[in-house]
Structure 1
Amino acid sequence: MNTRFAVFTAPLLLAVALSGSLAFANGDADEPSKPNCPKGQVWDSKQQRCLKQTSSLVPDADRTDYAYRLAKDGRYEEALTLLDTLKEPNTAKALNYRGYATRKLGRTDEGINYYLQSVKLDPQYAQVREYLGEAYVIKGRLDLAQEQLQQIKSICGNTCEQYQDLAEAINDSSKT
């Protein structure tokens, strides 16, 4: 009986101990949280550990997702540096996340350029349309932000997170 208890509780205790020692980054609602790696490293989903950004073992998809997590954590320059390591940097996601990081650094026009490239690659990508709309709000172009809001509505309706977030940004800017 004691052996059976130890077999079942040891992995649980280990998981609890490890989860308490790792800082988790917030990501897309669609994706699970991943540990925050030290600067110059990236999370490798296959090996379930942080590896050097320069490692050829880390696929572009992991680099792209982790760059977004860095940007969401306010680590914009690190996110851009990581995106610079992609073998294929011209994907809708990578361009969207590059746009997000540059916009957050105050380079709104550059961000808009990346968002537009992303939209060309995937016109049905609601998140890039949300971020593009938010960039237009920053520029004071509420007409263009409204166009993006309507595009999002046609993609996922008016109850999806992207629609709600952009509608709120437009509404907030109208109050000032």
Structure 2
Amino acid sequence: MKNIFLIIILITTQSIFAASYNKPSASKLYKEAVELVKKEQFESAIKKLTKYTKKKPKDSDGWTLLAFSNRKISEFDKAKEFYEKAIAIDENNKTALEYQGEFFAQIGEMEKAKENLEKLLSLCPNSCKEYEMLKDYISGKAKKS
């Protein structure tokens, strides 16, 4: 039963990731970075995303993906900075709020993680995938990404 639940979480996480960053009009550089993240080639993705965010400094999703990639290689100071930039650009970026919440939980700042969860609940009072994913992450039900 645990294996089935884990498989469902992994499939859902991959689908959410793909949906969150699927921009029909995205640049080639951005699309390449997304593909690198999907392959877990985070260092290479960071190089592309650094270039991308210099070209598109107002793209909250670019900063979110750069933060996520840095978090995955344990560059927590950079991840924190980039999540903050993403949310400063778009305070209602649900993906940024979810991933930043996971980051807070990962580094042991559970109160901040719960604040992000509350913000997500206010953005989607009938629930949404980002709220559910962060809730599961905080409770330990989801695979730690």
| Shared fold per TM-score greater than 0.5 | yes
The corresponding residue for 1:29 is 19
Map of 1:139 onto structure 2: 107
One-letter code of the match for 1:78? S
Higher strand fraction (1 or 2): 1
Residue 46 (structure 2) aligns with: 80
**AA of the residue aligned to 2:130:** Q
Larger gyration radius, structure 1 or structure 2: 1
Residue of structure 1 equivalent to 2:7: none
1:148 Cα deviation (Å)?
0.2
What is the RMSD of the two structures over their aligned residues, measured on CA atoms? Answer: 2.5
Q: Does residue 64 of the first structure (1) align with residue 13 of the second (2)? A: no
Q: CA offset at residue 157 of structure 1?
A: 3.1
CA contact (8 A) 2:87 2:97 kept: yes
- Name 1:105's counterpart in structure 2: 73
Query: 2:36 is matched by which residue type in structure 1?
Result: L
Q: Point out where structure 1 has 5 or more consecutive residues left out of the alignment.
A: 1-24, 33-44, 46-58
Task: Say whether the 8 Å CA contact 1:126–1:156 is kept in structure 2.
Answer: no
Identity of aligned residues (%): 23
TM-score relative to the length of structure 2: 0.74
Is this contact kept in 2: 1:149–1:163, CA < 8 A? Answer: yes
- 1:75 corresponds to which letter in structure 2? Q
Whether the aligned pair in 1 keeps the contact of 2:67 and 2:83 (CA below 8 Å) is: yes
Structure 1 Cα separation of the partners of residues 122 and 21 of structure 2: 23
Q: Which has the higher contact order (CA 8 A, sep 6+)?
A: 2
What is the identity, as a one-letter code, of the residue corresponding to 2:90?
A: D
- Kindly report which structure 2 residues correspond to 1:1-176, keeping only aligned pairs within 5 A, or say none: 27-29=17-19, 61-86=27-52, 87-157=55-125, 159-172=127-140
Aligned residues: 124
| Structure richer in helix, relative to its length | 2
Q: TM-score scaled by structure 1?
A: 0.62
Deviation per CA, 1:4-63: give whole Å up to 9, x if none: xxxxxxxxxxxxxxxxxxxxx96522666xxxxxxxxxxxx7xxxxxxxxxxxxx86442
**1:61-105 deviation digits (Å, cap 9, x = unpaired):** 442244133213211011111113322244211110100000000
Q: Secondary structure at the match of 1:167?
A: helix
Q: Which runs of 4+ in 1 moved over 6 A?
A: none
CA contact (8 A) 2:98 2:130 kept: yes
Structure 2: runs of 5 or more not aligned: 1-13
Kept after mapping to 1: 8 A contact 2:59/2:86 = yes
User: CA shift at 1:172, angstroms?
Assistant: 1.0
